Structures are given as C-alpha cells and as structure tokens.
A and B are shown apart, each in its own frame.
Chain A
Amino acid sequence: MYVAVKGGEKAIRNAHKLTAKRRRGDTSVPALTLEQIAEQLSHAVARVMGEGSLYDETLAALAIKQSRGDLIEAAFLMRAYRTTLPRFGYSQPVDTAKMLVERRISATYKDLPGGQMLGPTFDYSHRLLDFALAAEGEGGDLDAETSPVEDEPMPRVTDLLGDEGLIEPDPAADENAPVGDLTRDPLSFPADRDLRLQNLARGDEGFLLALAYSTQRGYGRTHPFAGEIRYGEVEVEFFAEELGFAVTLGSIKVTECQMINQFAGSAKTPPAFTRGYGLVFGQVERKAMSMAMVDRSLRWEELGEEQVAPAQDGEFVLSHSDNIQATGFVEHLKLPHYVDFQAELDLVRRMRGEWFEKRAREDAETAAKEAAE
C-alpha cells in the first residue's frame, strides 16, 4: 500500500520494474528492434528528433521503444540525453536550395522550374484501413517507381517571386550578427525572429497545429498559401577553425515550408507578399506548415498589423510551445502537495466557520425582528 506517499525507495524500484515488464508486454511476441522502429515508424522518429531537438534516428528509435510509444516522453529522453553532449559549435547555414529533393510541391503554381514532385505522402490516399497489413502481408505495392533523386538545384518558389520583387525579401542577414540560442541563454521577451523560429522548431506539433488552425478561423487571419513544401536531404557543414574551411559533417532530412501570405504595404514599402517559414527534422509536414503560419502570425508588429489573436502573442506562444516543459509542469501535480493543501484546508475550514456563524447571527436577528413585530 502507498501510505501518505511515504516509504518511497522500494515502491519506486518496484514501479520501475513493473513498467519495464509492461513495456515488453507479452514475451511470446518478438521484441521490437530499433531498426524496425526507425524504418517503419519514421514519422514518429522524425517527430521525436524534432521535438527532442537532436537528430539521431537510432537514438530516437530507442527513445520510442523505451517510452512505449509515448512520443513526448521519447522527446524528453532525447532532450535529457542531448543536454549531456559536448557542444563544439554551430554549423554553417543549411542551403535548402541544394536539397536532394524527395518531395516538393507548390500550391501557388501549376508547374514551375524543377517541377512538382509528389514523393511519399498520405495526400490523395483514401483513408481505408489496409487489412492486408493486418494479415502481416506487406500491403500496397512495394515496387513503387522512384524517379532518380533530383540533384540539380531546385529554385525555391519564394526566390522566383523574389526575382520579380513580389515577395518581401528575406531580411538581409548580417554575417557577423550572433544567432540566438535559447538552449544557452534563457528566452527573454520580446524575442527576435531567430529565437522565435528556434522555439517553434522545437515546439509541440499539436500546439502549433491548433494555433495555425486558429488563424485560419479568423483569430488573426494571414491569408496563407502553401508557396512550397519540400522534403529531402541536406548537407550540414561545420567551419573548422583549424582547417580554415568548412567540412561536411553529414546529411539530415528536413521538411521546409514557405508560406506566402497577404501583401502588406505602407506609404514607405510597396505591396508585396509576406513570408512565414517552417523547417523541421524529417518528414513532418503538418508541423512545418503550422510553424510557417505561426511564424507569420508572430510577425504582426514588424509588418504593421494589429495584434488581436493568441497566435500573434509572442510571449504566449513561445512560453507554452515546449511540450517537455508543459508536460513536466502539468504532470508535477501528481507529486505530493499535502503541505500546501493542509494550509488551504485550514483556511477553507476557518472561512466556512465564519460563514455559518454569520448566517446563524443573521437568522437570529431576523427571528428577533419578526418576534418584535
């Protein structure tokens, strides 16, 4: 029995043993391998890498296995591991125009240089349960033809618009300006766009989705078009001081989304489309799109818009997007709080006592008055 939340050590140890047992489930069923998770649950792996803020498919698969498929718990395991890793420095900016594209779509053009490439997607599929999969068949047609991965640079849609001056230019980056890092410095408000994007990239998919959705339903409307969504492999380079040039560390798969939003324009600037940007690890399009829409919403001040909706409120959005923080604080309510509760009990008892006393006094007064009449 669990008396007054005391007697912890043995109870904790036993609880952990039981969790391990439940995690494994029926031992007559083969255990999952990390390869199976990494290969066959790649969307889960991508989400855990993104929200866990660490690109490593094998570790993410391990985290998913260890957390019994609780993806926020898995992302937390990644974060806790990440914090112990030595930090060598920052990579060079990734050039997504040089991406080895596996999927690339634009909703704003019928066709465009580089072409539309549907790639792997649930889009246009009919969401019918595939019972062939249940019968342990492979399901679907595995002989999918894949066109050779495009290795020519594929210009970004926003660059095409930019050539004509129809979209606001990306803010000219000062090469020497330090890029913020909220894992090294506490976030303070108002936060600049570099920090906002970092925060959103690590943010909870569900939270960003709901916020993006709210802007579509009138809470701070931004009139978005999916200018371009591309998914594929990019190289990550690191500038080695000792060598004097950048070396490639490896490649990662990312989804990039560029939202094209309503033209602003003022006395000083001509009307032009505006941008919202999303970039996430792996193929997580829902989040990349949501991130781009929320990014655009958060730019209200810079674009001279009015702040009317939650999705525009930087402090609100950025303070609550991190699901590791959120789940920790919500779930900490499971910890014993009986000392504070005792203090509240005492006050409520006292206030109730006073309330009944007052009512009895009033009743007595009324009765006395009635008797006098």
Chain B
Amino acid sequence: MNATAQIFDQGEYNFAYLDEQTKRMIRRAILKGIAIPGYQVPFASREMPMPYGWGTGGVQVTASILGKDDCLKMIDQGSDDTTNAVSLRGFFEKTANVRTTYETSEATVIQTRHRIPEKKLREDQVLVFQVPIPEPLRFLEPRETETRKMHALEDYGLMHVKLYEDIAKNGHIATTYAYPVMVNDRYVMDPSPTPKFDNPKIDEMAALQLYGAGREKRIYAIPPYTKVKSLDFEDYPFEVQKFDKPCGLCGAEHVYLDEVILDDKGGRMFVCSDSDYCEERRAAGHVGPMAANPAAQQIGGHGTNAEEASR
C-alpha cells in the first residue's frame, strides 16, 4: 500500500491535499518557470475539488509550496472576505492546517485573484496568482500551436498592432486589466486579470510571483527583482487608472478603489479594494470623507458579523 492509500484509509488527505508526487511535478514546473521568467511552462494540472476557473491553478501552486510553518493569506478582488477567498482559505485550513491571516505583512504565502496588495511585499513572501487565460496572445490568435511559435520567435508584432489600433480607434489603449507586460526583455506575459493599476507593482517586486492556470495547465513565474515593463509606445506611455477621490472610509490616495452603489439615486462611494490595507489605516486613525455615513459601517468592516470579526 502506498502513502496515499494509507492516508485514505485513515480518512485524511495528504498535507495540502495533493500527493507528494504531484507536488514534486508542480515544483519542477515552478522551478522551470523561475529559470525562464515569463515563459509558460506546461504542467500536468490535476482535477481539484473546486471547479476549473475558480482558482485551481493557484490552489495547486499554493499546495505545492506550502510548508507547515507558512502563514497563508487568501484574497479575491483585493479582499479577504469575498466568498471564493473564504472558500479557498477554508480548503487550506482543512487540508493543510496552516496558520491563515488577513494581514499582508504577516503572510508568507499570499494567493490572490485580480489584485496585488497595496502594501509593498518583501523578499520572504510569495505571491500566487490565479490565472484564467495565461496566454497574452490568445485573443489575437486562438491557436496554441501558433502562439507558442510566436513566443519562441519573440514575434510580438500582433500585440503591438492591437495596441496601436486601440489608440487609433479609441484614443486609448482599451485594455484596463490583464494588461500585457514584457518580462525580463524577453517574454510577453499576461499578469492575470489584475487591473493595470497593479502593473507597476510587478516590476522589480521583492517577492517571488507565481502564476498558476489550472484549466489551461500552465505555470509561469517572475523571480524577485525582475524587470517587468507594461507594453506601450513612446508617444503613448503606459498610464495607470487615477481616482479623483480618496477612499471614503480611510482617506487613502493612490490606491485602487471599488465603487459601491449606496442607493438607486446615484449615491455611491469609493472604498479601498484592498480591505486589509483599509482596515489597518482606519485602525491607525485615518478617516475618510464618508466614514460617518451609515452605509459605510456596513461596507467597511466585519462589524456586522461578530464571528467573522473575531478572526
């Protein structure tokens, strides 16, 4: 009887769900990805107990790198308490029994969907992204056989034409998230559907970035302190979104904000998408212009739910 069978006899799962052979296979793919920054490494993605498209790539990467001493933070849309983040955190609490946290600075592994935390990450942290479509050229050329060739030949003309046409037609590059980047002057890479606001954070980041696409069976990586440039033109330089208001709750500026609709009369407020960052600022005494609004009470915190606030 092998190890996995024994574990099932005991009615338990292996540490972090995946068996050790699978983890080793995934770690090899990760190492290859780190060695060739931005290159999409095919890997034998497994069927996971959550659906494809719901973070299976990120979960497999996290499961493969997680150790008993790690502290895991799980975010979706920048927030720790969105439904899928709750579900995936619960998965690792159950299968790996590791410490989890909402605090960015406390975490050693952060799995994310669609955002990068506002707080600067450190060398001893790993950021794991859930990736739906890893191929930045997919919507220009649907065929894998073609896009692989284009990457091999560093033939990114199609991408530049697309960006040029955007400008010619709309006056803007009409890509607001999953904005393509050039990694280490070699591979064009999809930074996953994070808003382009987060692109500058990828560049020269101190933390290791791992990208996992389960359904598409690809892993790619950006090692610490790697040059990552958002694609642009000299006369149309890359720009990030700017918000003309600070966060309604904590008053933060130069952060990514979510728009929250308060009523059906056009009432709305903007709040930090990174909920941990916002909470930390409020705890430190920062107050935003809308903090006194009764609606803000409900949106802003876990105060409405004692159980979840106790974390």
Residues of A within 8 A of B52 (CB): 324-325, 328-329, 332
Please give the distance in Å from A348's CB to the nearest CB on chain B: 9
Residues of A within 8 A of B143 (CB): 189, 315
Whether, in the assembled complex, A35 has its beta carbon less than 8 Å from a beta carbon of chain B, the answer is no
Residues of A within 8 A of B298 (CB): 3
Please give the distance in Å from A319's CB to the nearest CB on chain B: 8
Whether, in the assembled complex, A80 has its beta carbon less than 8 Å from a beta carbon of chain B, the answer is yes
Query: Which chain B residues in 14-58 approach chain A with CB under 8 Å?
Result: 17, 19, 42-49, 51-54, 56
Beta-carbon contact of A186 and B170 below 8 Å: no
Partner of A335, one of B46, B54, B177, B299: B54
Q: How large is the interface on A (under 10, 10 to 19, 20 to 34, 35 or more residues)?
A: 35 or more
Whether, in the assembled complex, A184 has its beta carbon less than 8 Å from a beta carbon of chain B, the answer is yes
Whether, in the assembled complex, A369 has its beta carbon less than 8 Å from a beta carbon of chain B, the answer is no
Beta-carbon contact of B172 and A7 below 8 Å: no
Residues of B within 8 A of A12 (CB): 83, 86-87
Given A315-B145, A336-B84, check contact A83 B132 (CB 8 Å).
Answer: no
Beta-carbon contact of B171 and A354 below 8 Å: yes
Interface hub of B4, B44, B56 (most chain A Cβ within 10 A): B44
Partner of B177, one of A10, A339, A351, A354: A339
Whether, in the assembled complex, A372 has its beta carbon less than 8 Å from a beta carbon of chain B, the answer is no
**Residue of A whose beta carbon sits closest to that of B4:** A86
Please give the distance in Å from A369's CB to the nearest CB on chain B: 25
Per-position binary interface string of chain A over residues 201-219, scored 1 when its CB falls under 8 Å from any chain B CB and 0 otherwise: 0000000000000000000
Beta-carbon contact of B83 and A337 below 8 Å: no
Please give the distance in Å from B275's CB to the nearest CB on chain A: 8
Query: Which chain B residues in 40-91 approach chain A with CB under 8 Å?
Result: 42-49, 51-54, 56, 76-79, 81-87, 90
Query: Which chain B residues in 119-167 approach chain A with CB under 8 Å?
Result: 132, 143-145
Given A325-B215, A329-B215, A347-B176, check contact A339 B78 (CB 8 Å).
Answer: yes
Residues of A within 8 A of B43 (CB): 186
Whether, in the assembled complex, A373 has its beta carbon less than 8 Å from a beta carbon of chain B, the answer is no
Residues of B within 8 A of A329 (CB): 52-53, 132, 215
**CA separation between A8 and B44, bound complex, in Å?**
31
Per DSSP, are chain A's interface residues mostly helix, strand or loop, or mixed?
helix
**CA separation between A331 and B51, bound complex, in Å?**
9
Please give the distance in Å from A176's CB to the nearest CB on chain B: 22
Residues of A within 8 A of B5 (CB): 86
Please give the distance in Å from B60's CB to the nearest CB on chain A: 11
Beta-carbon contact of B215 and A183 below 8 Å: no
Residues of B within 8 A of A328 (CB): 51-54, 56, 215
Residues of A within 8 A of B258 (CB): 4, 338-339, 342
Residues of A within 8 A of B76 (CB): 335-336
Beta-carbon contact of B172 and A337 below 8 Å: no
Residues of B within 8 A of A83 (CB): 46-48
Beta-carbon contact of B84 and A342 below 8 Å: no
Whether, in the assembled complex, B241 has its beta carbon less than 8 Å from a beta carbon of chain A, the answer is yes
Per-position binary interface string of chain A over residues 10-22, scored 1 when its CB falls under 8 Å from any chain B CB and 0 otherwise: 1110000000000
Whether, in the assembled complex, B100 has its beta carbon less than 8 Å from a beta carbon of chain A, the answer is no
Beta-carbon contact of A84 and B13 below 8 Å: yes
Beta-carbon contact of B171 and A339 below 8 Å: no
Beta-carbon contact of B299 and A185 below 8 Å: no
Beta-carbon contact of B145 and A347 below 8 Å: no
Residues of A within 8 A of B86 (CB): 8-9, 12
Given A8-B87, A325-B215, check contact A340 B176 (CB 8 Å).
Answer: yes
Residues of B within 8 A of A84 (CB): 4, 8, 13, 17, 19
Beta-carbon contact of B87 and A5 below 8 Å: no
Beta-carbon contact of B42 and A336 below 8 Å: no
Whether, in the assembled complex, A39 has its beta carbon less than 8 Å from a beta carbon of chain B, the answer is no
Beta-carbon contact of B87 and A86 below 8 Å: no
**CA separation between A5 and B258, bound complex, in Å?**
12
Residues of A within 8 A of B84 (CB): 8, 335-336
Whether, in the assembled complex, B187 has its beta carbon less than 8 Å from a beta carbon of chain A, the answer is no
Query: Which chain A residues in 112-142 approach chain B with CB under 8 Å?
Result: none
**CA separation between A7 and B302, bound complex, in Å?**
7
Please give the distance in Å from B213's CB to the nearest CB on chain A: 10
Per-position binary interface string of chain A over residues 44-84, scored 1 when its CB falls under 8 Å from any chain B CB and 0 otherwise: 00000000000000000000000000000000100110111
Please give the distance in Å from A343's CB to the nearest CB on chain B: 4
The 4 closest A-B pairs by CB, nearest first: A328-B52, A332-B53, A8-B86, A328-B51
Q: A10-B308, A343-B196 are in contact. List 11 more A-B contacts (CB 8 A).
A: A4-B260, A7-B304, A84-B8, A186-B42, A332-B52, A336-B77, A337-B193, A339-B78, A342-B195, A342-B273, A343-B197
What are 20 sample pairs from A and B whose C-beta atoms fall under 8 A apart?
A6-B79, A6-B81, A8-B87, A8-B308, A10-B308, A76-B51, A84-B13, A84-B19, A189-B144, A315-B144, A324-B51, A328-B51, A328-B54, A331-B51, A332-B132, A335-B54, A335-B113, A337-B77, A340-B177, A343-B195
